[in-house]
Structure 1
Amino acid sequence: MVGAQARQYIANRLDEQAKLVWHFDNLHYSGEVSAREPQRVFSFGEITINLKPNGDLWIEGANYRNYISADSYTTAQECVSLLGDQLRYIDQNYQRIQSEPEFWAKKGILIRIMERFAS
């Protein structure tokens, strides 16, 4: 669980990085489009970043969905770095993702499906 102060810091760093450092060919930063609690939403064109109350970051668009769990980072800077990696991936693979959408699914679900087919 990430506290309110840490969430605010993540939001500030995300905004700062998006404006000053992250320059993409296919994704264009529109800023924070919703600050209504309990979550905050930032837009990169058709991709939105949802900063959840527990610290999870959901990266979602029409053809792409993934997330960064609060358990996968230890500092706000690490969180923003992981987000930058996700956005670079989307930007670099933008054309392919348009024709071959990528949607994240929980590992537990995939493991259960594979186990059913294996038996």
Structure 2
Amino acid sequence: MDMKRLAEIFSASHEGAWFIFAVLFFAAYLFALFRKYKVSKVFHMILRLFYVIMLVSGIGMIIHLGFPYFFVIKGILAVTMIGFMEVAIGKQQRGERTIIPLFVATILVIVVMFMGTGQIRF
């Protein structure tokens, strides 16, 4: 398999996973909010699988592109976003306040999404 085809596969899987990723996050969070903890944990575990898919495909694209600083920064922000999403879901499942991690995760989702679509460039 040539490198161009591999880069296309990484890109397609990365872009395609975003919608499912967002739906799974909100489902896991909302089920925890409504105290449906077992269902929330199932969605949370599937969400973690999509974290791995997105991280592997993102790292693959960064390697293919030769580590441009813009995408390295986007990757760092994405890993930070995942961390805040995990904190928000975990706190919600424990019944703790989630305003700050949920707010930060939402802002990071918007920034990372705009960076990925080319709306934010530097």
Could you say whether these structures have the same fold, taking a TM-score greater than 0.5 normalized by the shorter chain as the test? no
Query: Per residue, is there more helix in 1 or in 2?
Result: 2
RCO comparison, higher one (Cα < 8 Å, 6+): 2
Query: Per residue, is there more strand in 1 or in 2?
Result: 1
TM-score by length of 1: 0.28
